[in-house]
Structure formats: structure tokens, C-alpha cells
Structure 1
Amino acid sequence: MRKNILFVINPISGGKSKERIEQLIIDHLDHNQYDYEMAYSNAVDHARKLSKSAVHLGFDVVVAVGGDGTVNEVARGIMSINADVALGIIPFGSGNGLALHLGIPTNPRKAIETLNHNKIKVIDSAILNDVPFFNTAGVGFDAHISALFANNKKRGFSGYVKSVLKEFKKYKSQEYELTIDGEKYFRKAFMISFANSTQFGNNAQIAPLADISDGWLDVSVVKPFPAYQFPALAWRLMSGTAHHSSYVEIIKAKEIIVQRKENGAVHLDGEPRELNGQLDIKIRPASMKVLVPLTK
């Protein structure tokens, strides 16, 4: 029996054209395996609603065609029904962190062909103040950049890099009280990431030893550092050696409470939110099915 698959396409993700995606799906999806439909999101949270409707209608697979924000919305739609429905990903974002961690090709044709293998990987997810995330969440500098980047008309990696370089010298580290599985930590931090996978995106690995299926989050605390160390830390991220830096502390966790002195930006899978001072983060082991390449 063929499975029913819905492609939820974000037309603006990553600043990349989706004009050819329909024809690529027609040409490269295995039609002996799948009956397919396509839908386009047109507003914030629309991809989640489309995904949720697809689960109600009996689709077996829902594919996010977009970046990490689109993946988050589609996955949340599936999870809200708690159904036995798989998530597929065709990466079209600025970072594509979850797709890269899972080895899903960024080439659209190859990503579509990955769906044809029908290989399922069960991964963990997490929640931050009851909002699910699947790749990384965080506070501090990366959340600040996410908030600025969301309002930037120029999407894509180059726009993100420009925002980082512009804001880096102006940003001030903050004080945090962390309760990690019952133990208290007091840290002044440039940023803190709650990593389910290894990376933000673009292969920038904030938690190189993270395992998306181990039932743990990696809390990566980046301590304040002198400006001249910025290139060295950037190299650490891109080379997968951040855990060897004296400015990075990584703690395994299942439940985290973060106390901040004031409200501020938080990001979940790169999408910013303004939340109150206290953040509650928990891992949800083995809570999502994802279609991945045969090698994963």
C-alpha cells in the first residue's frame, strides 16, 4: 500500500526560491511508495496548522520544506496529536541545523530521494516553558541575534553573519542561576544553549558530543571571553571542538530551570520569543520519528 505524504512548503525560508520544488517532487519522489500533496504556508504558525490537519486527515508522513523554524512548526503539529506520523525534511533554511545533524542532504533532489528509502530514526525532543523544540534552544547572544535576524529583510547565511559581527562588541554577558537535575549553578554567560543535536546550523557545533537519541540535553555555557578570542571560538564551533575550549562548559541534563534577572529573548530552533525571567526545560525521550538517510 502506498503511503500518503504531505509537503508543507515555506515559500520564504532562507531567502531561497522554491519555484522548482514542485517539479523536483514530481520527478524524484517514488510514486510507487507515496501518494503526495503539497501545501504552502503563508503566515507564522501556518505550517503547524497544516501539519496538524494532515495528521487528522490520515497522512503517514509530513515533510517540512524550509528551515529549522518550519521544521519546528511541522514537528509541533505532528506532536500535538501524538500520532504515529513521521517527519520528513527538505532543507531550505539559513542554517538547517537539524537536517545537517541527521545527515539529510541540503541538495533538494537528494533530500527527496532520502524520503524514498523510508528509513525511520526515533529522536528526542524537548520543551521550553511547554513549547517544543527539536534541535537547539538558547538564551543570551544567540537569542539576541535570532530576534534581530527575524526582522531582517535579508535572509540567508550572509545576513546572519553580518548581524553577528555588528552586535558582538555591543552585547553584554548576563548572570544566570541554573538548576540542572536538582543541582544549582551560578554562571555569568555570553550565551547558554540547550542542545538536543550537536549544532545551531551551517555545521556550527555548539555541543559536539550531543546525541539526539540518548535521552539527554547538552547544556552548553559559553563564558565571557575577550574580543580577540572570537576568531578562535568561531573556529572551535566550525571544527567541532567547542568542548575543548576553556570558555565552554557542557553539562548533561534532563531537567533545567533557568532564572534570569529580567525578561528577554529566547530562541527555539532559531525562532525568537520574548519570555519571562524563569525558563523550564525538559527532555522528551524518543518522541519523534524522522525519515533519515540509510547511513544514519
Structure 2
Amino acid sequence: MPDTEFCFIINPAASGGGGNRHWSLLQELLDAAKVRYCYHVSQQKGHCAELTRNALQGGQRNFVAVGGDGTANEVLNGIFKEISLDRQEVTLSVVPWGTGNDWASYYGFSARPEACIDVLRSGVTLKQDIGKVSYTNASGQPANHFFLNCAGTGFDSFLLEKMGGGGGRRLRYLLYLLKCLVSYRATPLRIDIDGDELEYLTTLLEVCIGDRAGAGMRFAPRASADDGLFEVLLIDKLSTAQLIRSLTYIYNGRIDEHPAARRWRSPRLAVAAHAEQFFHCDGELVGRLPIRLEILPRAVSIMIPSAS
């Protein structure tokens, strides 16, 4: 795409500062390949969305998120909250320098700087579903948030809350994971899906577009990101020992075989809880239940590796 200008939105804190350390090398490669580009560096959480909106207003249309799932999510929300925009003109890609990189892994993105050049030169552009979450924000106002890969509540939101949000190195994530496995207790959730009102004592609820989340946990091994349906996974109450033993099912893609797993495929659902409970989008805490989720079919254009 020789005449295309790409706008890089950089999260310098992603993966413990890895995005900041590697950016100069990627710049050298972009210059050598004569790629037209501009870039903006975020200063704090939420800034990537603001930078994206500003760039859109300045005429930019081809975005590359430099960071992890949370960075890509912020760029996505910058795109979808710019209401005057014709989104058919916009593309989104990623340089996966975050902690989990689950959305990037689904499409086979590589973290090598050279691979980024290959994507920009010969990548494939296709359309993907995105999820929309409607909720009430901390100010008591109706709000929306969008996600590329996965939204959920239960154990993973508890983990993110204890960590103080997403981000950091993978080792930090795993240490908190082990600590929270011991302290987490299942909570009652009310779910309205396909006209059925259900209630379960729930360890985990994941609403998936891609096949994995939580740094490689395969919650939806049969997921297709452009079929217009969420893959919904609910795990019933488990003891600490059962939860630890269940990790193998999640990592090896056999979660549907677990006796505590319940599965639905649907374009929309609503989730509520008896007690205050957080939910996340793409591994970042967003707000509290209750929420309504709906899928927006093939709503975003993404540029991915040609080998995908």
C-alpha cells in the first residue's frame, strides 16, 4: 500500500515498557521501507482513545495500535466513539507488544518489528464483528463500550481488580493469577439470553468474539470472528482445587468437555448480579454490572498478516 499513510498509536507502558523500548527499531524499519506514517504516544490510561479521535479529525484513517489487547481496545473505542465518522474508511491493525496479545494471537500477528512491515506491505484487509456493551457509568449516566475480542465478569474481573487493572509483565499476571485462584469465591449471576432468564452461581462468564483471552486461555476454541454471534461460556461454581485443576481444560482448548461448562451462541444477552461486580472488555476493567451486550456484525475493517 505505497500511498497509504499509517497512524501508529503507541502505549509506552505496554508489557512493562516493551513498546517504548522497541519503537525506535520499528521506526528505522519503517523509514527504510519508505512507509508513510505518523505516530502518537499515550501519556496515561485512556489516552489512546483520545489520540485516535484527534487523529481521525485530522484525516487519519489507517491505525496501528502498538501494545496489547487493551491498547487495541482503546483505539477501537476512539474509532467508534467518533460519531461523525464513516467507519467504512477506517482500518485497524496491531503491533502486539502487550502482555496477553490474545486478539493478535487469533490472527497470527508476530511481535517481530520486521513482521509489522510485512503486514503493512502485503497484509489482508477483512471485516470483523465487534461487541457493544451498554451500562451505567460511575457518574450514573448511560454509557457504551466496544470490544474486539472478549468481555466478561467473574474470576477474570476479580483478578484485574486485584492487580489494579491490566498491564505489566506476564510474570506479574501469573503471580496474581495464582494468588486469586485461592481467594476467589463464585457469585450469583442473572443472565437473559435468547429469551431465557437464568441464574447461576458463577465462577466465570466470558462473551467471546475471538477464541482466547487471559493471556492464552482458550475460552471459545470454535469461535469465528465474523459470524455475527458471540460464543458465551459460563463456568459454574468450583472449589479452589477444582479451579486449579480446570486450568488445563482452558489452556488446551478442551473447555467444552468440562462438567461445569455451559455454552451458548447468541448475538445479544444481558447480565446482572445481586452484589456489586466489575466487568472487563479486552482485559481492561470498564465498569460494573448490570450490562447488555450485542454484537455488531462485520463492523470494523482490520489489516492482518497475509498468512492468516
Equivalent runs, 1:67-216 vs 2, <5 Å: 67-80=68-81, 81-83=85-87, 84-129=89-134, 130-150=144-164, 155-216=168-229
* Matched residue type, 1:250: R
Shift of 1:115: 2.1
Q: 1:112 to 1:201 in 2, by over 3 A?
A: farther
Q: 1:5 to 1:230 in 2, by over 3 A?
A: same
* Matched residue type, 1:273: V
* Matched residue type, 1:221: L
* Matched residue type, 2:147: F
* Equivalent position of 1:23 in the other structure: 25
Shift of 1:250: 1.4
Matched, 1:5 2:6: yes
Is the CA contact 2:181–2:243 (under 8 Å) kept in the aligned structure 1? no
Q: Distance in 2 between matches of 1:233 and 1:37?
A: 45
Q: Distance in 2 between matches of 1:44 and 1:265?
A: 18
SS at match of 1:199: coil
Q: Which runs of 5+ in 1 are unaligned?
A: none
Q: Distance in 2 between matches of 1:75 and 1:38?
A: 16
Shift of 1:48: 0.8
Shift of 1:74: 0.6
| Per-residue deviation, residues 164-215 of structure 1 (Å, max 9, x unmatched) | 1112122110111111122222211101011111111432111111111110
TM (norm. structure 1) is 0.93
Q: Distance in 2 between matches of 1:106 and 1:200?
A: 17
Q: Distance in 1 between matches of 2:90 and 2:99?
A: 26
* Matched residue type, 1:119: V
* Matched residue type, 1:146: L
Q: Which runs of 5+ in 2 are unaligned?
A: 135-143
Q: How many residue pairs end up in the alignment? A: 293
Q: Distance in 1 between matches of 2:43 and 2:3?
A: 29
| Per-residue deviation, residues 8-45 of structure 1 (Å, max 9, x unmatched) | 1111011033223233233157845x411111000122
Find the partner of 2:300 among 266, 288, 294: 288
